[in-house]
Amino acid sequence: MPATTAGSNRPLLLLTVCIFAGLYYLSKNSGALQISQKLAAHRAGTLGNQAADRNRANTAAAPTRSAAPGRASEATISQRIVAVGDIHGDKPAAMEILRRAGLVDLRGQWVGGPDILVQTGDIVDRGPDTIALYKFFQTLRPQAEVAGGAVISLLGNHEMMNALNDWRYVTKEDIASFGGERNRREAFSTGWIGQEFRTNYSITARVPYLVEADAFPAEFAVEAPTLPKTPRGSSDRRFVGDPTYAAAFDSVENPFRLAAASFVHGGITPEYLASLDSDRPVFEINRLGHDLLFSLLSVPGQASLGLPRTAPPEQREFWSERGPMWNRDWALEDEDEICARVERACDMLRVRHLIQGHTPQFEGILSRCDGKILLIDTGISRAYGGAHSSLSITYSLTPATSLAVQDALRLKLVSPSDPDPETTLAALRGVWVEKELVEALYTKGRATEVLVETERVLRKPM
């Protein structure tokens, strides 16, 4: 009986064992599934956080730039100008500086959009990269123009010295890169570099903050500039002539009269401007310089060390230490003694700043006379080992109608007690906010330095 009973119960026992085993298996896998789900969720969250962190890092690392044409809101009119001083045969330094300024990419291609680049001369001498540098700017210029920007090239005293056969600062490596002295001399006279000087290089430039005539606010009724006859040596008339629009001589009627900057290699003094006896000083300086240049470069091998004996007095004054190629007054004289003269020069040129190279400031860009003088030659060539720098000017005009309320309050365009400041702002037609930011940009981790920062409210003349 017991044996029979045990045998008859065996199927039931096996069924019970199977049920418990199945329940145990399901329980184990359910826990594993939960753990797997938790791990997957954790991994997804971690990856999501990592992606967010990467995005934040990329955003933080991306260079920030002030508004420029094509990048600003519809309401804001703006322009950015970048200036680079003496390069002296060092292309790697020049490329590093232009990348820092956001004008070229790693391949040296223009990415500055509508920005304006001004190079104030002395590309040549003291270094080996003469050919590479002149070809680089030759290629960069049309790229900038296609993007709506510009490359303005000025002649320095060292360009003129090479035209005069003064090779005291030419390196052996530089001569070898041309294949010898004869080839180099020909390149600088009737060859491709001499042709570049004739076509695309000027002595001085007056760069308006709002280049295009239709960029001016219509309510100020600023007449478009009448472009003068193109001086030899410039491919872009906008930057080598003098403003001729109505009200140009009245800063009350035309608040944009001085909305420009002057660029030259050496320096322009009011005494030199007065000696020109011309109401078009920018044009006249460029004419004098290019008349001299053409006489020197017209026949290869004919230039002699120093000015030709037949050079007229005006060319001798141009090339003297008092002229725009060699003058160092604004860099060397005591600030207390020059600021009144600087003010006069700015007024005669109708600009806010006189920007120049020539006299090295190895520690960095130097601002004098409250930013009216900006010395941008910082000895960037490895021949000097100075600071790698560029100057950035960002100018903008914003209509009051598009201001944020907090900005309007700060500028006292609306009252703190105004119950409806938005409506008040919407009614402020003919009122604009002008901003100018001048910065020294440096490479190798050095912080940007603000040199000038101004803001003012402009109202439509009554």
The residues spanned by each domain of the chain are 79-399
| The architecture CATH gives domain 79-399 | 4-Layer Sandwich (3.60)
Exposure of 162 by Cβ count < 10 A (0-12 exposed, 13-18 middle, 19+ buried)? buried
- Nearest Cα to Cα of residue 93 among 441, 386, 392: 386
Using the structure block, give the residue that is written with the tokens 């418990």. 20
Alpha-carbon separation of residue 426 from 382, 400, 402, 417 (angstroms) = 55, 8, 8, 17
Q: Tell me: the pLDDT tens digits for 189-213? A: 889 999 999 999 999 999 999 876 5
Q: Is the pLDDT of residue 17 over 90?
A: no
Identity of the amino acid at 99: R
User: What's the confidence (pLDDT) of residue 352?
Assistant: 96
pTM, rounded to two decimals: 0.80
Q: Tell me: the pLDDT tens digits for 320-360? A: 999 999 999 999 999 999 999 999 999 999 999 999 999 99
- Residue 256 pLDDT grade (very low, low, confident, very high; cuts 50, 70, 90): confident
Q: Is the pLDDT of residue 50 over 80?
A: no
Q: Tell me: the pLDDT tens digits for 276-329? A: 989 899 999 999 999 999 888 775 555 566 788 888 999 999 999 999 999 999
- Residue 217 pLDDT grade (very low, low, confident, very high; cuts 50, 70, 90): low
CA triple 161-167-169, angle to 5 deg = 95
User: What's the confidence (pLDDT) of residue 236?
Assistant: 60
Rounded CA gap, 290 and 324, in Å? 13
- Residue 35 pLDDT grade (very low, low, confident, very high; cuts 50, 70, 90): very low
Using the structure block, give the residue that is written with the tokens 């160092």. 328
Q: Is the pLDDT of residue 72 over 70?
A: no
Alpha-carbon separation of residue 221 from 318, 400, 405, 442 (angstroms) = 37, 18, 28, 39
Mean pLDDT along residues 38-51 = 40
Rounded CA gap, 119 and 94, in Å? 10
User: What's the confidence (pLDDT) of residue 289?
Assistant: 94
Identity of the amino acid at 59: T
